Amino acid sequence: MDQQVAIALGADPAAFEALISQLMSSGNELRSQAEVIFNLCRERHPDALGLKLAQVLHSSQSLEIRAMAAVLLRKQVTSSSGGESEESSSYIWSRLTPATQSSIKSLLLSAVQREETKSIAKKLCDTVSELASNLLPDDAWPELLPFMFQAVTSDSPRLQESALLIFSQLAQYIGDILLPHLGTLHSVFLNSLSHPMSPDVRIAALGASINFVQCLESTSEREQFQDLLPAMMLTLTEALNTGNEATAQEALELLIELAGTEPRFLRRQLADVVGSMLQIAEADRLEEGTRHLAVEFVITLAEARERAPGMMRRLPQFIGSLFAVLMKMLLDIEDEPAWHGAETEDEDAGETSNYSVGQECLDRLSIALGGNTIVPVASELLPQYLAAPEWQKRHAALITLAQIAEGCAKVMIKNLEQIVSMVLNSFRDPHPRVRWAAINAIGQLSTDLGPDLQVLYHQQVLPALASAMDDFQNPRVQAHAASAVLNFTENCTPDTLSPYLDGIVSKLLVLLQNGKQMVQEGALTALASVADSSQEHFQKYYDAVMPYLKAILMNATDKSNRMLRAKSMECISLVGMAVGKDKFRDDAKQVMEVLMSLQGSQLENDDPITSYMLQAWARLCKCLGQDFLPYMNVVMPPLLKSAQLKPDVTITSADTDEEIDDSDDDSIETITLGDKRIGIRTSVLEEKATACNMLCCYADELKEGFFPWIDQVAPTLVPLLKFYFHEEVRKASVSAMPELLRSAKLAVEKGLASGRDESYVKQLSDYIIPALVEALHKEPEVEICASMLDSLNECAELAGQLLSEGQVRSIVDELKHVITASSTRKRERSERTKAEDFDADEGDLLKEENEQEEEVFNQVGDCLGTLIKTFKASFLPFFEEISIYVTAMLGKDKTPEERRIAICIFDDVAEQCQETDT
């Protein structure tokens, strides 16, 4: 091996190139052998290896070898590659002699001057930028900036582009070091943005300008670059005018980044910029991808509320134009025969990417701008579309109504009668896809405008949905009507629903017996929701319904019926909960036998029954209470396995052509963070979240009966308090903490803890409470912070005197931190009120955000109250520490709720002091 290392690093450059070639080999054995030799070179001869890589990068005739050498050299000489530290053995720069370091720097700059191939030049610029970001702060590469300023003003467009690419990355890494050169950079960027010949130089200048604007902290520094904006926009229009849409799309992506991070930079020329984007969005001659990016730019600006509150609402004429563009995108839909057939599950048949983008953007726009801005615009266009002879327009109007409901709910509720009648009229439309869209709209409105819609319009909506279930010519319409019953009944009281139950249940039973599979699935979902919402009113239908549900559960064993069977399971468990243990007991035994046999069988990974079964077991437990305990040995092993699933994450480099393989699974979500592309399989996370929720349900329902499982469940759930991949997993874990402690405490108190005593409860609280405090310190979501405080308060109540002084200290310190962090967030929000475009709509949104903070203060107050009541006089030294924070909550700038909480805390202290004196 030593000989092979000597040959590779010897005088003949061909030997080293052969080694690099072998590192790229598709043959595992050859590549592995080359990796061993390369690693030995790095460990034993770092100087020789660094120089060899730099020389090959500078002089090799092979494109592939130069490209690979650029990547390898970057990994060897930059600490930021792959997140490795300077001490990492793969980072050799600090181990090189000054002479070698000097030679590599010189060879790199020479290679930048010589390299003609664009893809290699980019990799080379990456290497230079990352190395420079480590060296420039210590002034360890004095030649670099003069070289770059010379390169960017040279006659070579290729060299200008390279220098701009390096400037662009340096702005991200160490922008502050470039601040002394602001004036020079301004003129460099201005000249480069209007380069007469090279679109590559113009786009590189755009990227560098945007990165630089983002790294400037003061408004006055950003103002110096304000006059670049027309030239920045010109890079986009020139690319479009010359038919170079690939460059235009690259420019749009850069401008979208600017819109998201520094929207105020665009403010002075907002009308011109947004106007240009809407022209692009409306231009039919352009590629869809280009038009979608222009739309994304405007939506991103609308969503940049924290940085530029209210800014986009200053342009009502453009919002109208954008809304019209988005509605027009919804017309791009074909009446596919597949949609009408019931054989296919493809609900989206005939929909295009235009249609999908239009839908998503209507939703985002309405949430970003709110009903006061969007409803007037929609009110102009919707009647025109609904009255049109083309079915696509009528369909688009109803889809639009459904998409904007969430963001416009407050304003739409004021016009409820008009909206409901508009939708219900379309239930009679001659075209089935329009009828489907009307049903879809009612379903969405039931969710977003409930319970007002249910209370006021149940007499119109429920009969209309029941009637739509009779459309046997169009099974997809039938199925969707059943699904909309679910949405409507979720926000219904049993008394509201009661008069309609005879009609709805009999129709759903007809669909269960005679419908196509998708119709049966919809009917099962609707029945489950109707039972859940009507509770004891459902008793009279139980004997008619349950035989059908059990028949499906026992007979739908075919692979094509997996979802049908899963939904029957869901329906049975919800019906059981609705009617109660006494009515359900006999059938429950049969159902649980089927579930146990299913649990013991080998289910495929993608079988939906797994997730539905986890939830069904938990509902059966809620229904049967302590009678469920004999089944826990069957239920818990697979549940724990699901709760312990590891997130399925794939990480690739964002600048490679390598794609994350999601061809066979639409549950892959891809996000880009810095230079990494991360793919997360959400189906795994959803199963994990469901399992964690179910564990919490069992602990809550079974109380001391859950004791035998605590030793397995606690180590599973406690680490998940910091599971940042999925909020629902964290929420479930947070909710479970007091339930686990309560279960242990009750089991010990009732003598059911198999010989364990109070020391076990102490041990468990010592495990849970510090973990909760630590997770609270790092929790990014305000809503989950409030839940964690609630959970911490319950745990502290349960632990009582078992809490150690150190734990009380850590809780008090964390409460100080929570009050400070919450006050800081509120102060940052109040800063937004000073923005020049701040308006009443922004004020409403700000009020909602601050209400969440009040819940946090509420929970802080509860925690302090618990500690005061538990420790009485011995808590007073801690209270003296925190009283300054509580007193601050009485300030004039605080809300009435904060002041009320502070007074309650002081009252608690006074009360406990009185008791102590007595």
The per-residue pLDDT for range 700-712, each reduced to its tens digit, is: 999 999 999 999 9
Q: Does 84 have pLDDT greater than 70?
A: no
Is residue 112 within 8 A of residue 150, CB to CB? The reply is no
Task: Please give the residue that has the higher pLDDT: either 739 or 826.
Answer: 739
Residue 676 in 3-state DSSP?
strand
- Quickly count helices (H) and strands (E) in the chain: 42, 3
The predicted model gives 188-192 an average pLDDT of 93
Range 496-523 average pLDDT: 90
Give the residue among 357, 362, 366 at the shortest CA–CA distance from 313: 366
d(CA 654, CA 675): 5
Half-sphere exposure for 630 (CA within 13 Å, toward CB): 6
CA gap 870, 794 in Å, rounded: 12
Return the closest-CA partner of residue 66 out of 133, 14, 123: 123
Q: What average pLDDT does the chain have?
A: 88
Task: Summarize pLDDT for 444-454 with one digit per residue, the tens.
Answer: 999 999 899 99
What pLDDT, on the 0 to 100 scale, is given for residue 221? 83
pLDDT in the model for residue 89 = 39
Instruction: Provide the pLDDT for residue 85.
Output: 40
Tokens representing 155 are: 């006659």
Whether 308 shows a pLDDT value over 50: the answer reads: yes
Q: Higher-confidence residue: 378 or 342?
A: 378
Out of 359-368, 505-514, 767-776, which region has the weakest mean confidence (pLDDT)? Answer: 505-514
**Average of pLDDT values for 394-402?**
97
**Residue closest to 682 by CA, chosen among 712, 645, 627:** 645
- CB burial of residue 431 (10 Å; 0-12, 13-18, 19+): middle
Residue 894 CB partners (closer than 8 Å, separation 6+): 888, 902
Q: Which two tokens stand for residue 736?
A: 């479970």
d(CA 70, CA 655): 14
**pLDDT of residue 83 exceeding 50:** no
Nearest to 400 by CA among 423, 417, 425: 423
pLDDT of residue 793 exceeding 50, the answer is yes
> Does the pLDDT at position 799 exceed 70?
yes
Q: What are the residues whose beta carbons fall under 8 Å from the beta carbon of 543, sequence distance 6 or more?
A: none
pLDDT confidence of residue 252? 96
Can you tell me which residue has the tokens 């962090």? Answer: 821
C-alpha R_g of the chain = 33
pLDDT band of residue 326 (cuts 50, 70, 90) is very high
Q: pLDDT band for position 811 (50/70/90)?
A: very high
Q: Which two tokens stand for residue 159?
A: 């060299």
Q: What is the pLDDT of residue 307?
A: 81
pLDDT at 163: 95
Residue for token digits 């869901």?
570
Closest CA to 497 of 446, 423, 551: 446
pLDDT tens-digit map of 120-165: 999 999 999 999 988 998 899 999 999 999 999 999 999 999 999 9
So what's the pLDDT on residue 914?
Answer: 67
Exposed / middle / buried, residue 75 (Cβ in 10 Å: 0-12, 13-18, 19+): middle
The per-residue pLDDT for 340 is: 74
Percentage of the chain lying above the pLDDT 90 cut: 64
**Pick from 674, 588, 675: nearest CA to 625:** 588
Q: What is the pLDDT of residue 270?
A: 92
CA distance 851 to 863: 19
pLDDT at 915: 64
pLDDT tens digits, one per residue of 659-691: 444 444 556 776 655 556 677 777 788 889 999
Instruction: Evaluate if residue 832 carries a pLDDT over 50.
Output: yes
Pick from 404-408, 644-648, 684-688 the range whose average pLDDT is largest: 404-408
Which DSSP helix (H) or strand (E) runs through 891?
none
The answer to whether residue 652 scores a pLDDT higher than 70 is no
Calculate the CA dihedral of residues 804, 810, 814, 816 and round it to 10 degrees: 90
pLDDT higher than threshold 60 for residue 654: no
- Helices 199-215 and 182-193 cross at an angle (nearest 10°) of 150
Nearest to 915 by CA among 887, 884, 883, 876: 876
**pLDDT value of residue 676:** 60
Query: Per-residue pLDDT tens for 99-117?
Result: 999 999 999 999 999 998 9
Q: Binning pLDDT at 50, 70 and 90, where does residue 917 land? A: low
Distance CA 177, CA 806 (A): 45
pLDDT over 70, % of the chain: 94
pLDDT in tens, 235-278: 999 999 999 999 999 999 999 999 999 998 998 899 999 999 99
- The answer to whether 48 and 9 are in contact (CB under 8 A) is yes
Sign, CA torsion 362/366/371/372: negative
